[in-house]
Amino acid sequence: MILAWLISILFVGGIGAWLSEKSNPELPRVIALATILLDLLLVVLMLVAPGALGLDAAAQADLGEPGQWLVLYSSEWIPRFGISFIFGADGLGLLLITLTVFLGLVSLGSAWHEIKERTGFFYFNLLWTLAGVIGVFTALDMFLFFFFWEVMLIPMYFIIAIWGHENKEYAATKFFIFTQVSGMLMLLSILVLVFFHFQDAGEITFSYFDLLGTNIPPGYAFWVMLGFFLAFATKLPTVPMHNWLPDAHSQAPTAGSVILAGILLKTGAYGLIRFAIPLFPQATAAFAPTAMLLGVISILYTAKVAFAQNDLKRLIAYTSVSHMGFVMLGIYAWTSQGVQGAVMTMLAHGLSAAALFMLAGGLQHRIHTRQMDEMGGLWGAAPKMGFMALFFTVAAVGMPGLGNFIGEFLVLLGAFRISVAAAAAAAIGMVVAAVYSLIVIQKVFHGENTHKLELKDLTTIEMICFGMMMIGLLWMGLYPQSMLDMSEPTLRSLGVLFFQ
């Protein structure tokens, strides 16, 4: 039940934050902080003693031994249609839940002084987005999974549309159309998968465990798999389904960008690992070279486009697509090094990208511009901000000793076993990333302050948030085995290729 509690606390906290605004506009953020801290406490308990907090023996017996589940819960919901409450967390899920709650706390810190209007409704949407994401990472009934997939998208639409910047309505609508259309394709694929299982086994069920191994006619398997792939690849995102991301990031408030880059993009990668590939192994094997090619194109194309950007947040957004290309490449290599590298990249990028968007949002809040040609020489005016920008920039480009390096190195190693050409092309993207990242630091923080900009340096709350993310990246870079060990049982159960 602990997973249901994690989600319920966020739902209830969001409603409480919304209702409390009438009595005191400052109260919603306090309620949001208490809610996220309570969830963080439960996550810590799961990390320390997962088996003692909810491994339902009855559910384990009913569902068989599908993997190394640390927490597993099952109960009937709509038995007539084979729909159940099935929640589970294994090592992979627990890592992503931890990232979600941690970055939820960071996003709260970034919104603490920035959001001044309709605070109750803002924190309601923030907490419900987090609840939807945790639901996506834990739901093992396909109907329930789709429900949470929708829950996490709608509040994010409101966050962009209401508290965004000058072109917020356009960006929010674009985000909604891309994600909803691809989500509908996934829903159609889910229903077709359930139908074929019914024909094969004579029962209607949405259980992930029951749908694994469903006998789908070869002529249909590819198209059903493609529905899942398009939904997850759009959210990742990968070229050519990436067009919504730069607009959404550039127009979203800082907290929205932190959640979007740090957490929501990872739901697409998680969906590929958990659902798209295990449910359709044969169709995926035929499609894998195409997916790896899309990953390489994403790395190189968006890195090139980043050079042309003058808007700081749009540039960081394009770099996110480039880094997610490594995730796509590693997943579809489907080797232990490749997929574990993809998982490490997801976690490390979650911290580094969130930090960079928080810095960009903080700059915009202070000097009211995102244009880099209107900046320059800001290191002297805000040395703490300059140091943090340099640290997270070199982290994002893969500095040894930090988490991003471990992830991208493992991806290249895993991809090399499958395609030397793909690994070599992806490696070029790391070189390009180093170049445009140094250009950003030069334009924004070095040189002369020709525009005579004056700004406050980082606040105590911001320093705490950046400090926590620094510690996280250092831990991943210096002791990655702790996270690799958590994800390994999951990957073995999913059929990832482990080479001796």
pLDDT band at 407 (very low <50, low <70, confident <90, very high): very high
Tokens encoding 402: 């930090």
Q: What does the alpha-carbon distance between residue 76 and residue 296 come to, in Å, rounded to a whole number?
A: 43
Provide the pLDDT for residue 60.
54
Nearest in space to 265 (alpha carbons), one of 180, 328, 346: 346
pTM of the model: 0.93
Residue 424 has pLDDT above 90, yes or no: yes
Residue 64 has pLDDT above 80, yes or no: no
Percent of the chain past pLDDT 90, that is, above it, reads 56
Q: Domain ranges in the chain? A: 285-500
Q: Are residues 407 and 348 in contact, defined by beta-carbon separation less than 8 angstroms?
A: yes
Tokens encoding 354: 């969130």
Provide the pLDDT for residue 56.
54
Provide the pLDDT for residue 104.
94
Residue 25 has pLDDT above 90, yes or no: no
Provide the pLDDT for residue 367.
86
The tens digit of pLDDT for each residue in 148-192 reads: 999 999 999 999 999 988 888 999 999 999 999 999 999 999 999
Q: What does the alpha-carbon distance between residue 308 and residue 312 come to, in Å, rounded to a whole number?
A: 11
Provide the pLDDT for residue 55.
53
Q: Range with the lowest mean pLDDT among 249-263, 328-342, 432-446?
A: 432-446
Crossing angle of helices 119-138 and 91-111, rounded to 10° = 170
Q: Are residues 32 and 126 in contact, defined by beta-carbon separation less than 8 angstroms?
A: yes
Q: What is the largest CA-CA distance in the chain?
A: 73
Q: What does the alpha-carbon distance between residue 305 and residue 119 come to, in Å, rounded to a whole number?
A: 36
Mean pLDDT of 437-446: 86
Provide the pLDDT for residue 51.
56
The tens digit of pLDDT for each residue in 351-385 reads: 999 999 999 988 888 888 888 888 888 888 888 99
Mean pLDDT of 57-80: 69
Crossing angle of helices 27-48 and 2-20, rounded to 10° = 170
Provide the pLDDT for residue 231.
94
pLDDT band at 132 (very low <50, low <70, confident <90, very high): very high
- Cα 10 vs. chain centroid, distance in angstroms? 18
pLDDT band at 456 (very low <50, low <70, confident <90, very high): confident
Nearest in space to 211 (alpha carbons), one of 265, 144, 289: 144
Provide the pLDDT for residue 30.
92
The tens digit of pLDDT for each residue in 201-225 reads: 888 999 999 998 888 888 899 999 9
Q: What does the alpha-carbon distance between residue 68 and residue 259 come to, in Å, rounded to a whole number?
A: 28
Residue 466 has pLDDT above 90, yes or no: yes
Q: Which residues contact 300 (CB under 8 A, 6 or more apart)?
A: 322, 325, 425, 428, 429, 432
pLDDT band at 494 (very low <50, low <70, confident <90, very high): confident
Mean pLDDT of the chain: 89
